[in-house]
Each structure stands twice: as structure tokens, then as C-alpha cells.
């Protein structure tokens, strides 16, 4: 499956300045792994030491928080959009 990954500016500097990347995988976790394989500096800012989503970012698959659909195990389909946003906002 091929999907688009959008990064906030604070993370794009770790991806050669790209705000939008293509990635592949059958789950969000696999897509994130594909991104971090190409941009290893992103690893510790997307994945924590237990392999879970890094707590200071929130992942949205097609506008829905992935925590409502199994986190990194959430399934993806061709053409999906994965948006990564800083968790430090609002209130």
C-alpha cells in the first residue's frame, strides 16, 4: 500500500526539508518504519523505546487519531494520508 505522510516543520528538517513524503506498508507502523529507514534521524521522534508512537506527536490516519484504531497496528489502504502533528497544542 502506498500512502502520503505529512510532517510538521519541526520534523521536516530531519527529512531533508520535506513536509510531505511517500511511504509504503500495510499498517501505520510499517509505513512509519519505511519513513524512518530512509530518514533515521526521525526514528526517536516518531517511535518510543517500546516501539509505540512517540508521546509528543499524534498520528492521524485520514484525519482520525490512530489511537482509536489500534495505534501502529491500524491498517492502511492505497492513497491514505498519514498526518503527524505535535501533541503540544490546545487547551
Partner 1 sequence: MTASLLAPAGERATDQRPLFSARPLVCENCGARFGAEPSAICLTCLGPLVPEYDPTRSLPSYGEIATRPKSLWRYREWLPFDGTPTLSPDSGFTPLVEAPELARRIGVGRLWIKNDAVSHPTLSFKDRVVSTAINAAHAFGLGVVGCASTGNLANAVAAHAARAGLDAWIFIPFDLEPAKVLATSIFAPKLVRVRGTYDDVNRLCAQVADSFGWGLVNVNLRAYYGEGSKTMAFEIIEQLGWRAPSAVVAPMAGGALVTKLHRGFNEFASAGLFDGKIPRLYGGQAAGCSPIVRLVERGSGRIEPQIPSTIARSLAIGNPADGLTAARGIAETGGWAAAVSDADLIAGIRLLAETTGIFAETAGGVTLAAAVQLANSGQLGPDDEVVLCITGNGLKTLDPLVNVIPEAPIIPPKLSAVSALADSNSTPS
Q: Which residues of the shown chain bind partner 1 in the complex (CB under 8 A)?
A: 8-11, 45, 54-58, 60, 63, 65, 67-68, 83, 85-91
Residue 54 DSSP code: P
Nearest Cα to 64, choosing from 42, 50, 80?
80
Comparison of 24 and 58: residue with beta carbon closer to partner 1: 58
Output the smallest distance, CB 40 to partner 1, in A. 16
Comparison of 8 and 26: residue with beta carbon closer to partner 1: 8
Residue 4 has a CB neighbour count (10 Å cut-off) of: 14
Amino acid at each position: 500500500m502506498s500512502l502520503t505522510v505529512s510532517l510538521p516543520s519541526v520534523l521536516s528538517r530531519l527529512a531533508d526539508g520535506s513536509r510531505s513524503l511517500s511511504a509504503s506498508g500495510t499498517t501505520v507502523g510499517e509505513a512509519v518504519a519505511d519513513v524512518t529507514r530512509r530518514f533515521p534521524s526521525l526514528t526517536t521522534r516518531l517511535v518510543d523505546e517500546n516501539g509505540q508512537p512517540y508521546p509528543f506527536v499524534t498520528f492521524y490516519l485520514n484525519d482520525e487519531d490512530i489511537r482509536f484504531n489500534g495505534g501502529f497496528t491500524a491498517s492502511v489502504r492505497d492513497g491514505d494520508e498519514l498526518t503527524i502533528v505535535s501533541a503540544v497544542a490546545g487547551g
